[in-house]
Amino acid sequence: MEITTKLEFDAGHRIPSHKSSCKNLHGHRYAIEVTIKGEVVSDKSNSDFGMVMDFKDAKELIKKTIVEEWDHSFIVYKGDVVVLKFLESLDGHKTVIFPLVPTAENMALIAMEKLKISFNEEFGQLIKPFKVRLYETPNNWADVY
């Protein structure tokens, strides 16, 4: 069985070598949908009886793993030295350094890797993320399975 939940966050980024305006510092209202795969709980004494897991619990784990770190941050590629130096000059700025250029595709990949670790620590192989869809805008997104 699969269930999906969606959360939103705001963050800035840039694509340093992009041919158009995405090379400039800018931000988005991102949304992340996470599809979780697992068996429906059949134990009538379990609070999650009839569910894969409680949506509230799923949202809390996703929020802790992704949203709290990325929300209201500037996500910068580790090789974008000019912007990194600038952000380091700002006192107390919330900066997230990515090993990859922060495109929607790479953000979805990184989110999936982080969520795999969090779900495995919490549930072992019983419940795991199956798909991450990262919306950069309401009409543009990337999926990773």
Q: Which residues are catalytic?
A: 22, 72, 136
Sheet containing strand 140-144, edge to edge, reads: 95-98, 73-77, 2-13, 26-38, 127-137, 140-144
Cα distance between residue 33 and residue 83, in whole Å = 29
Pairing of strands 26-38, 73-77: unpaired
